[in-house]
Amino acid sequence: MTRQAISNPLHADEGADNGAPPPQINAPRHRRQLRIPPDVAQRIVVGGLWAIAMSAVAVLLFIIVFIMVKGLPHVTPEFLLQAPAKGGRLGGVSPMIFGTIAVAGLAVLIAGPIGVITAIYLTEYTRESKLTAFIRFGADCLAGIPSIIFGLFGFVFFADTLGLGISIISGALTLALMVLPTIIRTSEEAIRAVPAAFRDVSFGLGSTRWQMVTRVVLRSALPGIGTGIVLSIGRSISETAALMLTSGMVARHPSSVFDSARTLALHFFTLSREGISMPKAYATAAVLVLAILMINLLAYWFMRRFIARVR
């Protein structure tokens, strides 16, 4: 019977119908997957990154060119050397240039040493603990506070409580609090980037920790520290909301740090918001942008010269 069923396919089908399950054969399914060659994928990624970078540069160039086209024709020697007249419709921005240099320079002079010393303490003179975590958390929180909140605090604490009034020193202290987190974090990362071998060699030659920090670590970390200070200068020069409540809006030359002063950013804000003179507003913006570019170029040139001399 078995041989007949095997030899006769009809009997085999009948036996399968009588209760024996038919054998199941799973045919392999071939799925076609789209595979991009590695060299093509590399070109696509590089092209995408290049396009994103160029778009960011294009936006920056468009803003700079737009401001320069609108403002440079109105920037004259008289505009740079005269004081404003008739609410800003006439005259220039000489007091604003002086006020910007005074407020931003004093703020960086206050925040710079404090930020660098704090970074040195966090990286060289203490271990990771709750105190260091708390300091870093506080710096990060300060970096995220809106500038108008800093201005309100500066007005209440520096101008009113301490009796400094609406003055250059009040605005500088407020800006110092604003830029302090940037200096701390950038200086800390720059110091951490110095190889540990530099420290070991310095200790091996008999240096103290302070000698190692001042003569080895800080010299190697100077480019990163300088970058943080340059960013702080740029933010101090372009700040408006905080200075509106602390340094004031008086458009004249101050006689001391306890007098009120108007910065270039505040002057531009006043002219454009009230519609006093848009040509003067664009000229003020052009001077502000040129000042920031010049400060950045001079700072990077100085750092390169110093690094080349040290090496």
Q: What is the pLDDT of residue 20?
A: 54
Model confidence at 205: pLDDT above 90: no
Q: What is the pLDDT of residue 223?
A: 84
Q: Which residues pair with 85 in a beta bridge?
A: 90
* 276 pLDDT tier (thresholds 50, 70, 90): confident
Angle subtended by helix axes 130-143 and 168-192, to nearest 10 = 130
Q: What is the mean pLDDT of residues 132-149?
A: 86
Where do the structural domains in the chain lie, given as residue ranges? 92-310
* 6 pLDDT tier (thresholds 50, 70, 90): very low
* 274 pLDDT tier (thresholds 50, 70, 90): confident
Q: What is the pLDDT of residue 164?
A: 92
* 310 pLDDT tier (thresholds 50, 70, 90): low
Q: What percent of the chain has pLDDT over 90?
A: 36
Q: What is the mean pLDDT of residues 80-86?
A: 87
What class does CATH assign to 92-310?
A: mainly alpha
Q: Which residues pair with 90 in a beta bridge?
A: 85
Q: What is the mean pLDDT of residues 207-221?
A: 88
Rounded Cα gap, residues 139 and 92, in angstroms: 39
Q: How far is CA 136 from CA 119, 132, 224, 235, 288, in A?
A: 10, 6, 18, 21, 32
Rounded Cα gap, residues 168 and 102, in angstroms: 7
- 3-state secondary structure (DSSP) of residue 221: coil
Token duo for residue 123: 């990286």
Per residue in 22-56, pLDDT (tens digit) is: 555 555 555 566 677 888 889 999 999 999 999 99
Q: What is the pLDDT of residue 14?
A: 47
8 Å CB contact between 175 and 244: no
Rounded Cα gap, residues 240 and 84, in angstroms: 19
E strands, the chain, in order: none
Amino acid at 80: L
Q: What is the pLDDT of residue 32?
A: 60
Q: How far is CA 124 from CA 127, 196, 199, 218, in A?
A: 8, 11, 10, 11
Per residue in 243-263, pLDDT (tens digit) is: 999 998 888 888 889 999 999
Model confidence at 60: pLDDT above 50: yes
Model confidence at 85: pLDDT above 60: yes
Q: What is the pLDDT of residue 155?
A: 94
Model confidence at 12: pLDDT above 60: no
Q: What is the mean pLDDT of residues 207-218?
A: 88
